[in-house]
Amino acid sequence: MRIGYTPLEEEIRRIEIPVLVRGSGWLAVNKPPNIPVHPVNKVRENSLIRVLRRQEGRESLRLAHRLDSETSGVLLIAEDSPTASVLSQAFMNGEVHKEYLALVEGDVTDDAGHIDLAIGEARNSRVYVRLETGHGKPSLTEWRVERRIGGRTLLRLFPRTGRRHQLRVHLAAIGHPILGDMLYGRPDEDYLRMVRGEGDVRKEGGGPTRHLLHCALLRFREPGGKEREVEAPMPKDFDPD
């Protein structure tokens, strides 16, 4: 018996990744929404890291951390493996200050607060990647209101722990899911229909076609010890006006 494989057919897209800042052994880019940062499923050559390697002409580029496919904003890229290791360890140790913007459903009444809820695997969900609060690992998110826009609220978020999907899970848990979030703002069946390619209720409803979460700022120390701060402007599809 012969075992083979079917090569993926992927047309390379013309994507420009904006570079925000270049540092000593690293660069920061403004990640566009709706692009995975690394190869996954059928997206290989059109993943951000491979697009950026072609754009910069450097195969040595490495991700220092990750953002969800639909999330936009500041993403740190190392120019080589040793720098990637140093920066990645800083993220793991909680030494990187992170600020996100999120446009959420509903009017958030208080001006600031925190969400201190453990996060673990969802026990009664048909979607295996979904998480929930109430058990699991301790997780803390601080927040403040930036603007209130008639039934929606623009929040600035400060994750103090780094759990997967933390901001999305926490905001859904307090009744203010991020606009456009199919995983935490819609029933399981809506998400599963999208995964099966049977339709996306976001497109049918005329609302945002991705979850409106944006990494607005990172503050960190580069390998040489100098503190750096990088900001990314809010994308047009995120602007509440």
Residues contacting residue 22 through CB under 8 Å, at least 6 positions apart: none
> Regarding the domain delimited by 19-234, which CATH topology (the fold level of the hierarchy) does it fall under?
Pseudouridine synthase (3.30.2350)
Both tokens of 227, joined, read 């503190």
Stated pTM of the model: 0.92
- Secondary structure (3-state) at 204: helix
Q: Any idea what DSSP says for residue 236?
A: G
> 152-188 pLDDT, tens per residue?
999 999 999 999 999 999 999 999 999 999 999 999 9
Backbone angles phi, psi at 99, to 5 degrees: -130, 130
Give burial (CB, 10 Å; 0-12/13-18/19+) of 171. buried
Known catalytic residue at 68: yes
pLDDT of residue 223: 87
Closest C-alpha among 25, 15, 21, 20 to residue 60: 25
Ranges of the chain whose pLDDT falls below 70? 1-8, 240-241
Domain boundaries, the chain: 19-234
Instruction: Decide if 97 contacts 74 (C-beta within 8 A).
Output: no
